[in-house]
Every structure is written in C-alpha cells, then in structure tokens.
Amino acid sequence: MKDSPEIAGIGIPFAAGIAAGAVFFPDKNVIPTILPFCLAALIPAMTVATLPRTGNNRLLKIATFAVFLVTGLFCHISYSLGEGISLPQGPLGRMAERCVTTLKETIDSLPYEDKVTGGLLKALLTGDQSGLNRETTRIFRDSGASHILALSGLHLGILYMILGKLSAPIGNTPSAKRFRFVLTIMAAGSYTVMTGASPSIVRAFLYITIGETARLSGRERSPAGILISALTIQLAINPGVISSLGFQLSYLAMAGIAFLYPRLENLYPKAGGLAGKLDPMRKIWSGASVSIACQAFTAPLVWYRFHTFPKYFLITNLTALPLTSAVMVLSVATIALSFFGTCPGFMVSINEESVRLLIRCLEIISSL
C-alpha cells in the first residue's frame, strides 16, 4: 500500500475526533452544547475539502484533517446517543456458541494427566480462564506473561500462521490465491465471532482481512497503512471501543511493530545467502526487537493504569512466545485429530509436555 500517507491523513484525525468525543462527552444520552459549533465548522471544512487539487495543497490537507476530525467527533456522539453494538444473538451467535462448546468438550475429552493442561489450552484457544488454578495464574502474572492468557490478536495471529502453512501446498496460481483468501477470511472471521469478538481479536481480524485483500489485488502492503485502515474501520463500526484498555494496548503494540520494529531490526545487518537465513543471533535479535518495540509503545499506558512494569519482559517474551506458538500448533493438531477420532497417544503426551515446559519456564522467570 503506497498510499499510506493518504490513509494516515484520514484515519488519524478520525481516531482523534472519536478520542475527543470520549474525553469531552463521556456521558450517554447527553447532547453536547458544542454541537451547533461543530456543525458550523463542518460545512466550510467540507467545502474546502471538495476543492480541486491544484497548486499548494496545504489548505486541502488542513481541511481534510478537520473534516475527519469532526466526523470522528460526530461518530462518537451518535454512538453515545444510541444503543451501541453487541454480538449477534441470532443463528450466527448460536452457531458460535455451539462451536466453542464443542471445542471445550473436545479438550476435556483428551486424556491429559494434569488438569492444568486442559485449563490452559481452553484459555489459549477460547479465552475461558475458569479452568486455571490460582498457582498457574500467579506464575503467568509474576513472570509478565499475563497477556498470553488474555485472548488477543497474538492468538489469532498464530492460528493465521498455522493456516498459512497448511494451505501452502495448494500453490500460488490465481485460483489457489482466491481459494486461500476465502479460506483465511472465513476461518479468521469464524474464530473472531466464536471467541466473543474482543477488541484486540477484531483488530487482528481486520488486519488480516486488509492484508489478504491487498495481497490478492497485487498491491504493496504497508504494515502502517494496514494498521491505520483497521483502526479507522473498527472505530467507525464501534466508536465506544476506544475506551477499552484491550483496544488501546493492542493498537499501541502493533504501532510499535509497524513503526519502531523495522528500525531496531535493521541495527543487526542481515547477511546474504543461507548463512543469513540460519543466523541464530539475528533471529534472537529479531524477537528481541519485537518485544522492545511493543513495550516502548505500551509501557507508558500500563504504568499509567497499573503503576507496574514487567522487569523481565524481554526474557519472558523471548522464551514464552515461541513456546506458546509451539503449544498452540501442537494443540490444534491434537484437538483436530481427536475430534475425528484418529489422534495417537504420543501426540497427546507431546502436547502435554509442551504445556509443562511453558509453565516451568515461566515459573523460573517469576522466581527471579
């Protein structure tokens, strides 16, 4: 997406307008007295925005910014005066509930030796943390890995990666690309609805959808452009979500990955050939760069809200994230084979050992 500046010129003022609405007009069913002044400002701004692009377009940029700033403000006001948005309670909602129930029942039917394994898998795949004991929750909290337990875009991203690997054998013909696009969007959308469509999951779904659409159309994909597009769409659908901490942390983390991570990663030059691809130190630096970029953008908000900072976040993320990915890959394979009645016993054992390894590593970190 080479039009990232244009997308930013729309998305950023739109988000700023919604944020302004959330700050200045937090009460529902209250029509702000500033509404007539906003209308008065909107009319000339829209008039200037329709001017042809000739000569110096600084005035046009200012007018465009003003238009979408006021549009975001009105969007939040209309949301405040309305009923908001909720998940569908019709056939789609009932189908999603049945899918979640079936997934939990399949996990419960697996012959794990330790109840902690099933409880952790339900938390990672469905967001249900009711099966976790206090000790496991404490270990994740004290090690700074609570974000792994909270269902987020991380989990959908891992499942997206699994789906990409599984669909790779179908090739890259135009028909294969279209089939992969439909399969990916349907799978990501189903998982989003099935798990309750939390703000961070919706962000990940929009990011995947926009990115896959750009890939299918042959356009260059800019992470920043995709992120701002997702932000604009999500706020347009549900302006009230801007007050959600999960929404704020999710977009801040992705902003760190989009804007800071590439600069940090480039500090370790990539060698050419096979040696560059297999360089273990660069892989470690790449993982560290992601963690540092996310923390740099999310730490101020976390400190403001909770007055805490994960001291060992780098060790935790470098250890826990790869293990979490491995656990989820093994779990998806084990659950799928078990659902069809063809899961061998050794896979269940390997899956359980991977869960134990993850908990043990976090336990060591939490004791530091």
**Which of these ranges, 27-31, 132-136, 228-232, 325-329, has the smallest mean pLDDT?**
27-31
| Dihedral sign from CA coordinates of 5, 209, 263, 232 | positive
Query: Residue 83 above 50 pLDDT?
Result: no
pLDDT tier for residue 6 given thresholds of 50, 70 and 90:
low
For the stretch 17-56, pLDDT in tens is: 777 777 776 655 444 444 444 544 544 444 444 444 444 5
Query: Domain-by-domain residue ranges, the chain?
Result: 4-81, 149-243
Confidence band of 87 (pLDDT split at 50, 70, 90): very low
Q: What average pLDDT is seen over the chain?
A: 80
Number of other residues whose CB lies within 10 A of the CB of residue 313: 21
State the pLDDT at residue 49: 46
Answer with the residue of higher pLDDT: 159 or 16.
159
